Amino acid sequence: MPLPLAPSHRVILLGSDEIALAAFAAVRSLPGVEVVGVYSQPDRPSGRGQEVKSNPVASWARIEGLTLFQPEKLTPEHAQELGRMGIDLGVVMAYGQILKDDFLAATRLGFVNFHGSILPALRGATPVEGALALGLPVTGISLQQVVRRLDAGPLHASAELKIAEGEGRAALRARLGLLAGELAVRALPGIFSGESRPVAQDESKVTYTRRLTREDAALDFDATATELVARINALEGWPGSAFMHAGLVIKVGSASARESDATSSPGTILSADRDGVVVACRQGVLVMTKLQRPTAKMLPTGEFLAGYPLRIGEILSSSPMPGLVGPVPFSRPPKA
């Protein structure tokens, strides 16, 4: 006698960033789950040539043969369409659009969201960058029920991840993406069965992150060396980290912090050789080991200095570094 089929759970996925891929693949692998479609951001011009490209989730959906929706903006018509599809659950990770009440009400079990922090800490757009900039030893993934307030929904589950020493944004995002996949396998069956009992977040422990801007790349050598390394790791990629020298933007690709008794003014170059450019900070020294000038490649400091000298005793200019994390939602990037 054939075994009875597992009950079918009709799911819609909403995401646009590579960090969501492991979670979405895990959702598809669950017994009885049918992914009915994927919502993702539209294809957009990208790079120097402004070639129109798909985001990673949209590309994945096409490869997997899934129905793909890419609206510029979610409208009441999209909510009505979703309602007609008979969706049980929406699963969100790094989608990039706000879900309004009519959309949230269009599925039987609502929507759940994988968020890249241990909520209620680091709500908002940049939890990975926020954790690194603060120098936190641990972060993780939270699975929350989606509500209209920003990342304020009750929590179904969470999983912690230790941040490795010197870890940058790309590596941490990759590991968090895999962790989200593991959490999906562990937590979603209980949501489908109704056994999961989400717990309200502790509002007394809430912190918020904000969107990044180009100006966030600027470094302030009046910070501690440890703070600067954390900032450089957090902003790896875009917008990166940089200082001005002779009117040029010099990007910093990697750096470490070192204790020092030096009493030089913050920003003073203490040494510059193949082992690194050592700069005095408010506390300790920053050892920059990869640098890049405009239109050139990122190079180890020995190669960089061969074509662009930085002299001992020079004082590098500093710029304010507005915080990435705060106790209330950001309406705009704060002034330093």
Say what the pLDDT of residue 2 is.
46
pLDDT in tens, 154-178: 999 999 999 999 999 999 999 999 9
What does the alpha-carbon distance between residue 328 and residue 91 come to, in Å, rounded to a whole number?
26
Cα 68 to Cα 14, 177, 323, distances in angstroms: 10, 21, 37
Task: Looking at the structure, give the CATH architecture of the domain made up of residues 9-208.
Answer: 3-Layer(aba) Sandwich (3.40)
Mean pLDDT for the chain overall: 96
**214-307 has which CATH code?**
3.10.25.10
Please give the full DSSP string across 39-103, using - where no structure is assigned: E-PPPEEETTTTEEE--HHHHHHHHTT--EE--SS--HHHHHHHHHTT-SEEEEES--SPPPHHH
pLDDT in tens, 4-38: 445 699 999 999 999 999 999 999 999 999 999 99
**Per-domain residue ranges of the chain:** 9-208, 214-307
Tell me if the pTM is above 0.75: yes
Q: Grade residue 291 by pLDDT with cuts at 50, 70 and 90.
A: very high
Q: Grade residue 332 by pLDDT with cuts at 50, 70 and 90.
A: low
pLDDT in tens, 54-63: 999 999 999 9
Say what the pLDDT of residue 32 is.
96
Q: Is 179 exposed, middle or buried (0-12, 13-18, 19+ CB in 10 A)?
A: buried
